[in-house]
Structure 1
Amino acid sequence: MENWQEISNLDQYDTPLFVVYEDRVKYNIEMALALVSGDLSRFRPHIKTHKMGEMLQIFSGYGIHKIKCATIAEAELAALNGMTDIMIAYQPVGFKIHRMMNLINTFPDCTFSCLVDNLETAKEIAAVAKEAGSVENKEIRVYLDLNTGMNRTGFPVAENVVAFVMALKEISGLKFMGLHIYDGHIHDPDPAVRAARAKPAMDKVLADADELIKSGFADLKIVAGGSNTFSFYSGIESVECSPGTFVFWDENYNRLIPELNFKPAAVLVCSVISLPAPGILCVDLGYKSVSSENPIEKRVVFPWNDDLTPIGHSEEHLTLKHIGPTDYKVGDRIYGLPYHVCPSCALYEEAQVVNDHHQIEKSWRIKARDKKISI
């Protein structure tokens, strides 16, 4: 495997490290834009993977100013870093509605929107907006979140979507923007199978959208998918695509989505801290440094050290079985690829950024890993 990961000044840094390769990030952005034929109106990247202001500034350099996010902190970070059309792909409930109102009033030059999937919550959002005294003449923009089979959130796509939207339209203080889909349950390795699974729900969505457009919703938008169904939705001209993981890519998608030629752009660097028994070594990559929601074999891989296999994991330690001729020593640095990069990134306060000369030259604060920035 090509040794693109090597860092020449790594001895100046402690581990574990979350490291980003800026040239690879830019390559991935350019690849993503190429999939939508360079049409910026069809591209709304999700920022939950990186949560960094510097990444948003790179987006701006490519003319990208609309994004999707999941938290109020991510939305605030976006507003602070040049994004002007910010979708909070989450249905706010309880006090989160008040935080969203504060966000809208704090950044009047930005357009914010959120998701809803039931009329009761939609009415609560409208009521809180009126009570909060939101920006004059500015309705709260909402998208209808649709459940296409993931069964996480959303109004069932098979039900009467048009009737729901008509009822939503009657709620004073809200402005219906369009339909939202996230189908993270579709992750078959064969892109044809993924497309076949996504198509029936999308056909229903497109039919509903056509009916709504005929009923007067001329500017209706459809925001659909993540990285897993990006290749399918990028071929539908009326859809805004919203991948997130593409910026860093990870081992999971590298295996599951072979048709997308994104490059891994983030690695985890750890150190050997102990050789407790023959054929066993331990590195400083515990639960607190790599996402651990998957089984142990699907947390981190070591493609440049394929003689290492994870066998034990705890808060500050990862124990590895060693079968091979390599003579590992305490203090050796080892590069790994996270299996799920998004929550792994969120475990670090900052990312170290590598330049074209294989040196760490700066760091980027992973600011929106915080639950709150100021709002």
Structure 2
Amino acid sequence: MEENWWKIKSDILIDTPFLAVYEDRIRFNLERLIRSVSGDTQKLRPHIKTHKIGEILELFKIYNIKKVKCATIAEAELSAIHEIPDVLLAYQPVGIKKERWISLLQKYPDTYFSAIVDNLESAKALNETAKENNLKLNVYLDLNTGMNRTGFSISQDWTALIAKIIKLKNLHFEGIHIYDGHLKGTVEERTHTASNSFSEIKEKAETIEEKLGYELKIVAGGSNTFPFYAAQENVECSPGTFVFWDFNYQSNLPEQNFKPALVIVGTIISKPTNSTLCIDIGYKAVSSENPIDKRLVILNDENLIPRAHSEEHLILENRGKNEYKIGDTIYALPYHVCPTCALYDMVQVVNKGHQICDQWKVAARSREISI
């Protein structure tokens, strides 16, 4: 790994903590992603929940990535604002979200929107709302392959559910959505498990296609199973974390060879003892759903070990011989980058010369943009 790639030499002063993103590394990750599908960008539908940033959507277009997946109405609207042609909401619209979804489609008629459903009642409700608004909505059936978070179980007769959805006149059935983020272990273990369920799904989908007379779309996987789905024909892949990467995936998905492209920049604000440092990266500045040893890694020095965490403070134990003083800068790699990014209004963009050259708004961290 490039030594001290994260170090910033800019004269621009930004109050800490802040997020720094490295555009050359983001571009490297995009190019790496495209190589993983042999240059076929039609296979890519990256999830934008990691970054939520319009300028990165503009980068997607430069690299001919024209389809995205999202989890919120705000992310979908941001994609439409930046003229991404094809946007999938991988979140079943129910309640008020159903009404907001309709408003989104009406405001951005040039964007091809679709959403997921996992039961007949929700599909009927969408169909009724579409009928009231003189619309035809594009939907995928969300399948549960074992994560047990959303989706219709593949152990049940999901082909019968599709047959019922197809009869709803104000819905257009697009295809199948699969997210198997529960799969862990080695790449061989993940591939084996994903392959077992996918082969059965693919076989049944082909039977449905014969009856429908058109090819179903299949949107499948996230980061964990990206290598498997990247190798399958007629499957759109939806990794998201690749754009910034993080310590979790760097450790557990080493075969994918993406580069970390985001760090948290903090400051030493106190030295309670000779071997104790306090920095300003509290748990309002980094995703903290995991135990303290799985929240961040200090890049300056592997001997700086997180010991205690509160809202605006992080206590580090200095086990090494390096000396630090109050006011020194600390660089940290988050363990889970997606919710970390959502804690910040802006990210600071660092160029190859290690200078801060721009800032990008994390626009879709808001639950609403205009709808």
RMSD over aligned CA atoms reads 1.0
Distance 1:144 1:64 in 2: 23
> What amino acid is aligned across from residue 19 of structure 2 in structure 1?
F
Contact 1:161 1:208 in 2 (8 A): no
The correspondence of residues 96-115 of structure 1 with structure 2, limited to 5 A, is 96-115=97-116
TM-score of the pair, normalised by structure 1 = 0.97
**What is aligned with 1:244?**
240
The correspondence of residues 340-351 of structure 1 with structure 2, limited to 5 A, is 340-351=336-347
Distance 1:56 1:236 in 2: 25
Residue 165 of structure 2 corresponds to residue 165 of structure 1: no
Runs of at least 4 residues of structure 1 off by over 4 A?
A: none
**What is aligned with 2:252?**
256
Match for residue 139 of structure 1 among 136, 140, 147:
136
**What is aligned with 2:349?**
353
**What is aligned with 1:373?**
369
Structure 1 residues 231-240 or 343-352, which shifts more? 231-240
**What is aligned with 2:90?**
89
Distance 1:328 1:337 in 2: 19
> What amino acid is aligned across from residue 154 of structure 1 in structure 2?
G
Residue 233 of structure 2 corresponds to residue 232 of structure 1: no
Q: CA deviation at 1:64?
A: 1.2
Contact 2:89 2:114 in 1 (8 A): yes
Match for residue 187 of structure 2 among 187, 191, 197:
191
Distance 2:38 2:201 in 1: 23
> What amino acid is aligned across from residue 332 of structure 2 in structure 1?
G
Contact 2:83 2:111 in 1 (8 A): no
Residue 70 of structure 2 corresponds to residue 69 of structure 1: yes
TM-score of the pair, normalised by structure 2 = 0.98
Q: CA deviation at 1:237?
A: 1.2
1:225-250: per-residue Cα shift (whole Å, max 9, x none)? 00110011111012110100000000
Contact 1:158 1:204 in 2 (8 A): no
The correspondence of residues 1-375 of structure 1 with structure 2, limited to 5 A, is 2-9=3-10, 12-131=13-132, 133-134=133-134, 138-188=135-185, 190-375=186-371
SS in 1 for 2:208: helix
Q: CA deviation at 1:217?
A: 4.5
> What amino acid is aligned across from residue 338 of structure 1 in structure 2?
P
Q: CA deviation at 1:72?
A: 0.2
Alpha-carbon distance change, 117 to 346 in structure 1, aligned in 2, over 3 angstroms: same
Contact 2:12 2:356 in 1 (8 A): no
Q: CA deviation at 1:10?
A: 5.9
Stretches of structure 2 lacking an aligned partner (at least 5 in a row) = none
SS in 2 for 1:14: coil
Number of equivalent positions: 370
SS in 1 for 2:255: coil
> What amino acid is aligned across from residue 269 of structure 2 in structure 1?
I
Stretches of structure 1 lacking an aligned partner (at least 5 in a row) = none
Q: CA deviation at 1:279?
A: 1.2
Q: CA deviation at 1:219?
A: 2.5
Contact 1:77 1:367 in 2 (8 A): yes
Alpha-carbon distance change, 323 to 11 in structure 1, aligned in 2, over 3 angstroms: farther
> What amino acid is aligned across from residue 88 of structure 1 in structure 2?
L
Distance 1:372 1:351 in 2: 19
